[in-house]
Structure 1
Amino acid sequence: MAAPTPIDQITDKVERLLLRHEELQRTNALLVEQVHALQAERDSLKSRLMAARARIDALLERLPGASADERKERT
């Protein structure tokens, strides 16, 4: 069998590079999806945290015997 010509070697290398490029594009698309999902989860958790803080603040306001300044110092 004859040794591959430089053109054949270049062709093989280009084909491997194209396959690798396609693989990286698929991987990147999956990572972008994961980032979007994690951002949505983060936003949901931040929203829940803010709601919980509001409920706690409302409960603190209802505590007897604590002035507004004392309640602010606790937060």
Structure 2
Amino acid sequence: MPSLTDLLERVERLLLRHDELKRTNTLLQEQVQALSQERDSLRSRLGAARSRIDALLERLPVETTEPGKNS
């Protein structure tokens, strides 16, 4: 049977590990938030770029082919 001192040491180690894990979790949550903001910004930029490309494509002349002529 473990002694009271052994149990106390084990509890202290568990508390230290718990604190480490809490700090790690906080850092990971901050990273997730930063990456989510970056993703949202990139999506927005992609949407704007697509809109500009669509507008440019609409300005291109439509090519028509006459019957009997190969382009």
Q: TM-score range by the shorter chain?
A: 0.7 to 0.9
Number of residues paired by the alignment? 63
For 1:53 and 1:45, the matched residues in 2 are separated by 12
For 2:6 and 2:62, the matched residues in 1 are separated by 85
In structure 2, give the amino acid aligned to 1:27.
Answer: T
**Unpaired segments ≥5 residues, structure 1:** 68-75
Q: Does the alignment pair 1:27 with 2:24?
A: yes
TM-score (norm 2): 0.85
TM-score (norm 1): 0.80
**Unpaired segments ≥5 residues, structure 2:** 65-71
SS of equivalent to 1:64: coil
Distance 1:16 1:27, change over 3 A: same
Which has the higher relative contact order, 1 or 2, with Cα contacts under 8 A spaced 6 or more apart?
1
- Taking only the aligned residue pairs, the percentage that are identical comes to 65
Write the deviation string for residues 7-57 of structure 1: whole angstroms up to 9, x where unpaired.
000000000000000000000000000000000000000000000000000
> Counting helix residues as a fraction of each chain, which structure ranks higher?
1
After TM superposition, give the deviation of residue 6 of structure 1 in Å: 0.6
Structure 1 residue runs of 4 or more that deviate by more than 4 Å after TM superposition: none
